[in-house]
Every structure is written in C-alpha cells, then in structure tokens.
Amino acid sequence: QTVKYTFGLEELEQRLAGYLSVPKVIVVAGDSDELPVVKKELGRAVVQQMKNRVRSGDVIAVAGGTTLASAAEMMVPDPRWQNTIFVPARGGLGEKVEIQANTISSAMAMKAQASYRLLHVPDQLSEDTRRSLMQEPGVQEVLDLLSTASIVVHGIGEAKTMAGRRTTSASLRSRLEEESAVAESFGYYVNQDGQVVHRENTVGLQWDELRRDQTVITVAGGSSKAKAIDAYMRYRPSSILITDEGAAKAILEQN
C-alpha cells in the first residue's frame, strides 16, 4: 500500500503545481535516489493515473527509462485496458534493451492484457536512413498510431546521467556540457531555460507534436533530478507530474 498521505505531501503537491504551472502534481513519500522502493511507488502512481484517464480504444504512447520500467512492473489487468493499444513513443535511443520504450510498452501491454505495436528502428540513424525508414509501411503504421495517442507517458532524465548511460560520443558529451544541458526527455536535451541544445536522431513522437488535448503523464523522481524536472516542466506541456518528496523539496528549495 502506498504511504502517500504522510503529513505535508499534499502541501508539496499544491506548491509544486503552482510553481511549475502544471494542472496536477502527485508526490510520493521518500527520495528514489536513496530508496529503490520509492521508484516502485512512482510506478504505482503512474499506473493509477493512466487508469483514471484511459478510455476504451485509446492509444497510449510510452517512453523508456528505469522509472517507466517500474510502472510496467506495477501494471495489472483491468477491464479499463480492454481495446487499448500500447505504442513506444520513440525508436531506440542507445539504451539497454530492458529500458527501451519498445520493451516497456510491450511489457505494460502484456501485463494489462492489452495489445501493442513495436517500432523496429535501430539507434544512431543518419538523417537519410531516418527519412527512408519512416517511409516503411510497418514503421509508418506505428507513427500513424502514435499521432492519435490520447495518453503519453514519459520520464525525464538528468542530462549528464542520460548522456553517460547512452552510447554518446565524446564530442556530443562535451557539447552538452558547454551548452549547459540539464534535462533530457524523448531524446531531446535542454538547458535550464528549456531551450533544446540537442535532439537524438530517431523516429517517433516529436516534442512539437504533443497536443493540448492529450493527457501527458510525466514521471521523474529523486533529488538529483530537481534541476532537470524544473527545466522540463516549466517549458513543455504536461498534464500530470508524478514525482517524489526528494525531488519536490529540492525543486522548491532551489528557488
């Protein structure tokens, strides 16, 4: 069972929603940097919020990362998932298979007893290859589905951590540092003013395709992600932020 209603969390949720201008914020107790169980609670909260919003026939776009992997772990069958289709938000981003969007969205769908599609595109594409892959009927079908997604679920990474975790060239790493990248999401790296300093070359959902009528569920926790969450949330559309006490306090304290 969740320990969400410990004294003070609701106040943190309200203050953070005001500061970041997000319609809804959910804060789970603890700091996932320190306690792995907190990441499970983040995952549980993601599933709960998806369940609150989903309608029969919905397409759900799911990004990668360890936080979303824990959401997949927490997924259970429910009549509400009937007829839903889970689709990876982006193609490969140089991550380990276990935390790629393809793996996570298919794992979620299987646990939910829903259906899913895979996006068969390799990492590190040249621009020409990316363009021609997008013409492939199998890829095109998934991209068309993605454009109809009514729910998008994604994480936010700390820029340096993400560049280190992925197959990132030394020159790109130093450019990210020079340009003061602080956050990463969907393969986009941004500075603290929300400006894009680099975009990974893969197919899938692009930031400017996120629509106001979609439910965008953002999940990221741990005090080490405070700056990243701040930079992403203040400049990109999100309907719900799910975070933890460690990150929430650090964001409010640094301002």
Tell whether residue 44 is a contact of ligand BG6 (CB under 6 A): no
Q: 84 or 221, CB closer to ligand BG6?
A: 221
Query: Among 31, 95, 244, 245, which residue sits at the site for ligand BG6 (rule: CB under 6 A)?
Result: 95
Stretch that binds ligand BG6, among 27-35, 52-60, 65-73, 239-247 (CB under 6 A): 65-73
- Element at 60 (helix H, strand E): strand 59-62
Tell whether residue 42 is a contact of ligand BG6 (CB under 6 A): no
| Spatial contact of 40 and 74, defined as CB atoms under 8 Å apart | yes
Tell whether residue 66 is a contact of ligand BG6 (CB under 6 A): yes
| Spatial contact of 230 and 16, defined as CB atoms under 8 Å apart | no
Residue 50: Cβ within 10 Å count: 25
Number of H helices, E strands in the chain: 10, 11
Tell whether residue 155 is a contact of ligand BG6 (CB under 6 A): yes
Q: Which two tokens stand for residue 124?
A: 């590190």
**Shortest Å distance, C-beta 134 to ligand BG6:** 19
Tell whether residue 65 is a contact of ligand BG6 (CB under 6 A): yes
Q: 81 or 232, CB closer to ligand BG6?
A: 232
Tell whether residue 189 is a contact of ligand BG6 (CB under 6 A): no
The C-alpha atoms of residue 91 and residue 117 are separated, in whole angstroms, by: 12
Q: Which residue is nearest to ligand BG6 (CB)?
A: 65
Give CB contacts under 8 A, 24+ apart, made by 103-108.
103/64, 103/69, 104/62, 104/63, 104/64, 104/65, 104/68, 104/69, 104/71, 104/72, 105/60, 105/61, 105/62, 107/69, 107/72, 107/75, 108/60, 108/62, 108/71, 108/72, 108/75
Helix axes 36-53, 66-74, angle to 10 degrees: 60
Stretch that binds ligand BG6, among 79-87, 93-101, 105-113, 122-130 (CB under 6 A): 93-101
Tell whether residue 154 is a contact of ligand BG6 (CB under 6 A): yes
Tell whether residue 67 is a contact of ligand BG6 (CB under 6 A): yes
**Shortest Å distance, C-beta 79 to ligand BG6:** 29
Stretch that binds ligand BG6, among 51-59, 63-71, 142-150, 234-242 (CB under 6 A): 63-71
Binding residues for ligand BG6, rule: CB under 6 A, are 63-67, 93, 95, 99, 154-157, 162, 184-186
